Amino acid sequence: MRAVRLTHWGGPPVVTEAERPSPRGEAVLVRVEAAGLCGSDLHIMDAAPDALPYRTPFTLGHEVAGRVAERGPDATGPEVGERVVVYGPWGCGRCGHCVAGADNYCDRRSALDTARTGTGAGLGRDGGLADFLLVPSGRLLLPVGALAPAQAAPLSDAGLTSYHAIAGIRPALGDPETGTASVAVIGVGGLGHLAVQILRATTSAQVLAVDVREEALALAADCGAHFGTLVRPDTAEALRRRTGGTGADAVLDFVGTSATLRLGVSAVRPGGALAVVGSGGGELLVRKPGALPPGLRISLPFWGTRTDLEQVMALARAGAVKVATERFPLSRALDAIDALRSGRVRGRAVLVPDEELLRA
């Protein structure tokens, strides 16, 4: 089978032949029908040696949908032929969080990091930018029903992470029906454009989009954002003006550099919420007394729970959330990576191994 493998830190990855795995024990082999390319894939391939707790080589790709191809003798869950989406954070499977379907917050994460055995599909373990993906257990698969694979795959990270981040800021937004809250979304790429739609579908908040690209602001408007602005020296003031001078009730930062964190705290209202989703490596000084807005609640959401994934898929099935996709054949993975890196992707780049599905 073909696979997009990171063979050394600093990349680029290579599109190469790899052995098709066969499922043993509880494992399930999935024939990949679509795999999204995430901003995190760039961070992973660009990482310095020893910066991440993974060993190379491994296959990238942590946003995967496909069909069950083969089941190990002890496998549970979906049957052969069933269309599934992969719940990508793979924890220990036994701690309180994993048992509750929150592998994203596995209590043994630091032990997995120390052992360098990987923490999910495409995160130190072989991922889904390939013809097939070996999933360790059927509990990590959810049936997708009628959702198209290129829609389902990005929902498992771009959609799930955005949904989970929004769940975390919800208390700052007041009454979802009658409230007049406002939320700033910084970075309207793969994650951000779905965050805008989820906010519109599940809250009455005014949505304020911020990006460095005009095309991203146009996408934000298509997704239902009420206002959009490029990053400029006066962006925080522009956001405050749009919120009657108080600042936004919540900020979702899908970039996470020091500059966007500073923008976030200067645009958020006292008692508001800042969710740092982007892994841009920025830093923010937390000090009391200090310059942060009083009562600020900062969260560092990571991916999401299985229940969050079910809920965001339900929104998509109901037509309230639609992923903007740019589809590429798997053989053109490196072009897709270049397009993402240079800011040429609208929404999510999705790799499709089967060229017939690509034409469909």
Question: According to the binding rule CB under 6 A, does residue 188 interact with ligand NAD?
Answer: yes
Residue 144 CB-density burial (10 A; 0-12 exposed, 13-18 middle, 19+ buried): buried
Instruction: Say which entry of Zn ion, ligand NAD, none residue 95 contacts (CB below 5 to 8 A, set by partner kind).
Output: Zn ion
Question: According to the binding rule CB under 6 A, does residue 120 interact with ligand NAD?
Answer: no
Minimum gap (Å) between residue 319 Cβ and Zn ion? 24
Among 147, 191, 209, 267, binds ligand NAD (CB under 6 A): 191
Question: According to the binding rule CB under 6 A, does residue 91 interact with ligand NAD?
Answer: no
Question: According to the binding rule CB under 6 A, does residue 255 interact with ligand NAD?
Answer: yes
Minimum gap (Å) between residue 208 Cβ and ligand NAD? 12
Segment interacting with ligand NAD (CB under 6 A) among 50-58, 73-81, 189-197, 285-293? 189-197
Of 227 and 328, CB closest to Zn ion: 328
> 192 vs 39, 183, 185, 197, 199, CA distance in Å?
11, 12, 7, 9, 10
Of 188 and 333, CB closest to ligand NAD: 188
Tokens of 225: 């954002």
Instruction: Say which entry of Zn ion, ligand NAD, none residue 69 contacts (CB below 5 to 8 A, set by partner kind).
Output: none
Of 182 and 235, CB closest to ligand NAD: 235
Minimum gap (Å) between residue 254 Cβ and Zn ion? 11
Q: Is the peptide bond preceding residue 171 cis, with omega within 30 degrees of 0?
A: no
Show the site string, 230-249: x = touches ligand NAD by CB under 6 A, - = not. -x------------------
Question: According to the binding rule CB under 6 A, does residue 256 interact with ligand NAD?
Answer: yes
The residue whose two tokens read 């200067």 is 266
Of 231 and 320, CB closest to ligand NAD: 231
Instruction: Say which entry of ligand NAD, Zn ion, none residue 199 contacts (CB below 5 to 8 A, set by partner kind).
Output: none
Q: Which of 162, 88, 103, 206 is nearest to 312 (CA)?
A: 162
Minimum gap (Å) between residue 179 Cβ and Zn ion? 30
Minimum gap (Å) between residue 154 Cβ and ligand NAD? 9
**Residues 317, 310, 130, CA angle at the centre, nearest 5°?**
85
Among 35, 85, 184, 216, binds ligand NAD (CB under 6 A): 216
Minimum gap (Å) between residue 100 Cβ and Zn ion? 10
Among 277, 313, 321, 333, binds ligand NAD (CB under 6 A): 277
Of 98 and 199, CB closest to Zn ion: 98
Show the site string, 13-52: x = touches ligand NAD by CB under 6 A, - = not. -------------------------xxx--x---------
Provide the binding-site residues for Zn ion, judged by CB under 5 A.
38, 40, 91-92, 95, 98, 106, 108, 157
Tokens of 267: 């645009």
Contact residues: ligand NAD, CB under 6 A:
38-40, 43, 157, 161, 186-192, 210-213, 216, 231, 254-257, 259-260, 277-280, 301-303, 340, 343
